[in-house]
């Protein structure tokens, strides 16, 4: 059975409605003030890619090629590749910011996915997440548990009852309480690496390039950097006042955005308009990543 997240036009229709009901405000709050080299993991059909400001070197990954083709049309400036969160095709410490938006509910191996996010993030970088979680209410939480198997099948992979915040901290991050926005089952927050956490394993990625031929260089500066690259220590850093200003802006962007009654998160589905060879094209991981 093809779940909702496997049908891009149906996902887009549902998300358009949710964005009118307030999801758009959550998305804007998520990326307010983002700068530098940014990776969005689970970008799906690209509905969140338009919210990034000018000057951001934007890159996105998703396991579904047809969904990524829609995302490329929405954000032609972004460099996109097909890959799973559990096996990201980038060198260590390649990004200033890693973003997830309604996607980690569909990641099969959450600890491994978070370990990969941590690996590709710079030590002074930010992990920004917008996700739904298991309800803190006893009755509502039990209801999510009860419908979970059926909902996962209908949606095509979404899990309603994940405790994402606890998983993030168990993976070696610390959530900044000043950035945390919680309404109903929705959570939006910034996390940073905890210095004492152990490094993550580096699995072999499974990559399929989206758009262009093998060896073709994406347009613009969308490249997260080569392995071992060290940038100037002061690049993309900011003082505490600037951080507070960005955090205040995120809260203002989310103000008045009610938690939607029913989320259709992480729905990166298969569309019928694009015919794509499912066989992956493997290349050197350095392709498109050198500066």
d(CA 256, CA 20): 12
Classify strands 121-132 and 57-62 as parallel, antiparallel or unpaired.
unpaired
- Look at residue 4 in the predicted model and tell me its pLDDT: 66
| pLDDT tier at 278, thresholds 50, 70, 90 | very low
Mean pLDDT, to the nearest integer, of 104-126? 96
Residues 134-175: tens digit of each pLDDT: 988 889 988 988 888 887 777 667 888 899 999 999 999 999
| pLDDT tier at 22, thresholds 50, 70, 90 | confident
Mean pLDDT, to the nearest integer, of 85-106? 96
- Look at residue 136 in the predicted model and tell me its pLDDT: 85
| Averaged pLDDT score across all residues of the chain | 75
Mean pLDDT, to the nearest integer, of 21-32? 89
| pLDDT tier at 202, thresholds 50, 70, 90 | very low
Which range, 89-93, 211-215, 233-237, has the best average confidence (pLDDT)?
89-93
Residues 6 or more apart in contact with residue 37 via CB below 8 angstroms: 56, 57, 59, 94, 95, 96, 97, 224, 225
Paired tokens of 14: 């549902």
Quote the percentage of the chain above a pLDDT of 90: 44
- Look at residue 77 in the predicted model and tell me its pLDDT: 93
| pLDDT tier at 46, thresholds 50, 70, 90 | very high
Select the more confidently predicted residue: 114 or 1. Answer: 114
Please work out, in degrees rounded to the nearest 5, the angle formed at the alpha carbon of residue 267 by the alpha carbons of 97 and 135. 80
Domains in the chain and their CATH numbers? 4-254 (3.40.50.150)
- Look at residue 114 in the predicted model and tell me its pLDDT: 97
| pLDDT tier at 237, thresholds 50, 70, 90 | very low
- Look at residue 147 in the predicted model and tell me its pLDDT: 87
Select the more confidently predicted residue: 203 or 147. Answer: 147
**What DSSP assignment string belongs to 165-229?**
HHHHHHTTEEE-TTT-EEETTEEEEEEEE-TTSPPPP-PPP--EE-SS-TTPPPSSS-----TT-
Residue that the structure tokens 């890693």 belong to = 98
| pLDDT tier at 258, thresholds 50, 70, 90 | very low
């Amino acid at each position: 059975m093809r779940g909702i997240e496997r049908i891009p036009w149906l996902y887009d229709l549902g998300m358009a409605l949710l964005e009118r009901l307030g999801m758009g405000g959550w998305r804007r709050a998520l990326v307010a003030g983002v700068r530098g080299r940014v990776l969005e993991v689970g970008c799906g059909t690209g509905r969140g890619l338009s919210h990034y400001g000018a000057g951001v070197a934007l890159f996105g990954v998703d396991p579904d090629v047809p969904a990524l083709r829609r995302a490329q049309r929405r954000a032609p400036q972004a460099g996109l590749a097909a890959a799973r969160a559990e096996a990201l095709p980038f060198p260590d410490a390649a990004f200033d910011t890693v973003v997830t938006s309604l996607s980690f509910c569909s990641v099969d191996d959450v600890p491994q996915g978070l370990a990969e996010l941590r690996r590709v993030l710079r030590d002074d970088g930010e992990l920004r997440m917008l996700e739904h979680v298991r309800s803190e209410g006893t009755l509502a939480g039990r209801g999510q548990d009860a419908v979970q198997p059926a909902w996962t099948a209908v949606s095509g992979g979404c899990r309603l009852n994940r405790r994402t915040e606890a998983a993030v901290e168990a993976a070696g991050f610390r959530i900044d309480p000043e950035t945390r926005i919680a309404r109903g089952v929705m959570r939006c927050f910034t996390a940073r690496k905890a210095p004492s956490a152990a490094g993550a394993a580096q699995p072999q990625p499974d990559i399929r390039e989206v758009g262009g031929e093998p060896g073709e260089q994406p347009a613009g500066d969308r490249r997260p950097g080569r392995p071992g690259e060290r940038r100037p220590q002061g690049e993309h850093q900011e003082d505490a006042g600037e951080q507070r200003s960005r955090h205040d802006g995120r809260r203002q962007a989310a103000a008045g955005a009610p938690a939607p009654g029913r989320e259709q998160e992480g729905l990166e589905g298969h569309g019928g308009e694009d015919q794509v060879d499912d066989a992956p094209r493997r290349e050197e991981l350095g392709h498109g990543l050198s500066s």
